Amino acid sequence: MNLSDNLKRLRKENNLSQEELAEKLGVSRQSVSKWESNSAYPEMDKLIQISNMFNVGIDELLNKDVKEVREKVETKNTINKYIDDFLIFMSKSIDMFLNMNFKQKIEFIIEELFIAFILFIGFNIIGSILSAIYYDLFSFVNWNVINVIKNIFDAIYLAITIVFGVIIILHIYKTRYLDYYEIVDKDDLKKSDLDNKKDNIIPDKREKIIIRDPDHSSSRFITGLLKMLLIMIKCFAAFLFVGGAFTLIGLVICLVCSFLIAKTGLFFFGILLSLIASISIAIIILSVLFNFIIGHKNKFGLIFIIFILSLLILGSGIGCTSIGFTKFEFKNDLTQTKEEVIEMKEDLVIDYFGNQKVEYVESDNDDVKIVVNYSEGRECYIGKGHFDTDNILHINLINNGGSFEDLKRQIDYLNKRIISDSDYYEIHIYTNKENIDKLNNNYSEFFNR
Supply the DSSP string of 297-355, one letter for each residue: PP-HHHHHHHHHHHHHHHHHHHHHHHHHHTT-EE-----EEEEEEE---TT-EEEE-SS
Q: Are 57 and 147 contained in the same domain? A: no
pLDDT bucket at 90, cuts 50 / 70 / 90: confident
What's the pLDDT band for 277 if we cut at 50, 70, 90?
very high
350 and 296: one domain? no
Last residue of a domain, one of 191, 221, 251: 221
Same domain, 295 and 403: no
Same domain, 299 and 353: no
Confidence band for 41, pLDDT divided at 50, 70 and 90: confident
Burial of 35 (0-12, 13-18, 19+ CB in 10 A): buried
Whole-number percent of the chain with pLDDT over 90 = 16
Average pLDDT over residues 72-78: 58
Highest mean pLDDT among 165-179, 279-293, 371-385: 279-293
Same domain, 242 and 318: yes
- Mean predicted confidence (pLDDT) in 205-220: 47
pLDDT at 149: 79
Domain boundary among 294, 325, 356: 325
Q: Kind of pairing, strands 418-419 and 329-330?
A: parallel
Of 124, 107, 99, the closest CA to residue 204 belongs to 99
**Average pLDDT for residues 339-364, to the nearest whole number?**
86
| Res 184: pLDDT | 55
* Spatial separation of the C-alpha atoms in residues 72 and 80, rounded to whole Å: 12
- pLDDT tens digits for range 215-258: 444 445 555 556 776 787 888 888 889 989 999 999 999 999 99
Residue 76 within any structural domain of the chain: no
The reply to whether 430 falls in a domain is yes
Count of domains for the chain: 4
Domain with 104, as residue range(s), is: 98-221
Under the banding of pLDDT at 50, 70 and 90, the label for residue 278 is very high
CA distance 436 to 96: 87
pLDDT winner (highest mean) among 8-12, 90-94, 270-274: 270-274
Residue 200: predicted pLDDT = 45
Q: How many CB atoms lie within 10 A of CB 434?
A: 11
Strands lying side by side in the sheet with 378-383: 349-352, 392-399, 378-383
Average pLDDT over residues 158-187: 75
Specify whether 355 is located in the same domain as 425: yes
Instruction: Please indicate, yes or no, whether residues 376 and 437 belong to a single structural domain of this protein.
Output: yes
- Assign 180 a pLDDT band (cuts: 50, 70, 90): low
In-domain check, residue 77: no
Residue 199 has pLDDT above 60, yes or no: no
List all residues 6 or more positions away from 270 whose beta carbon is below 8 Å from its beta carbon.
316, 317, 318, 319, 320, 321, 322, 323, 324
Residue 348 belongs to a domain: yes
Name the amino acid, one letter, at 321.
T
**How many H-runs (helices) and E-runs (strands) does the chain carry?**
14, 11
Last residue of a domain, one of 325, 345, 362: 325
pLDDT given at position 140: 66
pLDDT in tens, 364-406: 888 999 999 988 888 888 887 655 567 788 888 887 766 777 7
Q: What is the pLDDT of residue 97?
A: 80
Asked if residue 236 belongs to a domain, the reply is yes
> Do 190 and 255 belong to one domain?
no
Give the per-residue pLDDT at 218: 46
Q: Dump pLDDT digits (tens) for 97-136.
A: 887 778 778 878 888 888 888 888 888 888 888 887 877 7
* Residue 82 domain-assigned (yes or no): no
Domain presence at residue 75: no
Instruction: Assess whether pLDDT exceeds 90 at residue 143.
Output: no
Answer yes or no: do 246 and 308 share one domain: yes
